[in-house]
Amino acid sequence: MHRELQAKITKLKKERCLDAQKLGEFHSKNQQLREQQKILQEKIRELEDRVRSGPCDRCSVTEKQIKKTNSELEDTNQKNLSVISELEAERKTLKDENRKLSLELERLRRSSSPQNVSSETEEGMIPDSPHRPLSLPVASKMKRRKEQNHVRYAETPLSFSYPEPKRGEPSVPFSCNGKSVLVAETCEMDVTCIADEFRRPADPERVSSDDDKSNRNRSFACVEVVRKKDERRKLKGHYCKECEIYYAGLPEEERQKKMASCSRHRYRYIPPSTPENFWEVGFPSTQTCVDRGYIKEDDQPDVRIRRRRPYLAMFSPKAKSQKHKH
């Protein structure tokens, strides 16, 4: 019994020692936790004081940057709005100007429609003429240029009574012996002298001129303008001497038909005073080419296909020498 009690006592002593060790550990841990709590409380106080004092430096910098960017955006928006308003105002003014110009263009077209023939005289001015065309809008000029398709000529008789020239006016020398002068409907020409050999009498039905202007006495070659299109179409054109000589051997009907179908620059637009051999300058006639040997006709044409014929240069001396040898 005594041994059992001693064993129990030793056992209880060991347990008591262990409990004392555990209490010491718990006490040390409690002390550490209290110290940590104190540190945390101090940090909390510092943070509260910082919050109460105001924002931090970084936050203030970011706020300043945000305010600056917002102000810049507002300024750019204001500038854009001002530029947009200016562009809209300019667009409105341009629209008004465009409307005014279109109305003026229509008015000019309407006003120029009854005066197409009179405006043709200004548009087709000869460069050497003393009269100069007026400066008109480009659109009306383009319209009249499209309408001005043909230039016809007419012959009008001139009176032989020459009044004395007025003081201060230069006297115009006039040495023409003819009774008719070539007249174009586009511009006023200088004094033109027409030889008798090139003069062709005009049909009275196809010559159109104003009675008031023809009755006046003038000391210079007068240009009469044919106003109406139907009368201009009835005007008789002048054939050049080259065409008359070229079609002289044909019958009358065929000759008239050929000369009517002749090129316009020879038939309608060339005055009757075309000099002889005028068209041979740079472009000799067919008969001249034949006489000079430029055009050679084969008396015995080759039966072979034309593309297989040997090429002979017309103007080379070698071809002529080879032909003389044969």
Q: What are the tokens at 89?
A: 């105002």
pLDDT of 185-235, one tens digit each?
444 444 444 444 444 444 444 444 444 444 455 565 555 666 777 776 676
User: Residue holding tokens 């347990």?
Assistant: 15
pLDDT of 78-128, one tens digit each?
999 999 999 999 999 999 999 999 999 999 988 887 655 555 555 544 444
Q: What are the tokens at 227?
A: 């106003």
pLDDT of 266-290, one tens digit each?
444 444 555 666 666 666 677 777 7
Residue 269's pLDDT is: 43
Phi, psi of 279 (to 5 degrees): -80, -5
On average, the pLDDT of the chain sits at 68
Burial class (CB in 10 A: 0-12, 13-18, 19+), 105: middle
Q: Is the dihedral of CA 80, 85, 90, 95 positive or negative?
A: positive
Burial class (CB in 10 A: 0-12, 13-18, 19+), 153: buried
For the ranges 11-15, 128-132, 290-294, the maximum mean pLDDT occurs at: 11-15
Domains of the chain, residue spans: 2-49, 150-292
Residue 27's pLDDT is: 93
Predicted TM-score of the model (pTM): 0.23
User: Residue holding tokens 């279109």?
Assistant: 102
Chain center to CA of 22: 108
The more confidently predicted of residues 309 and 208 is 309
- Rounded-to-integer distance, Cα 235 and Cα 227, Å: 12
Residue 189's pLDDT is: 44
Residues 194/178, Cβ–Cβ less than 8 Å: yes
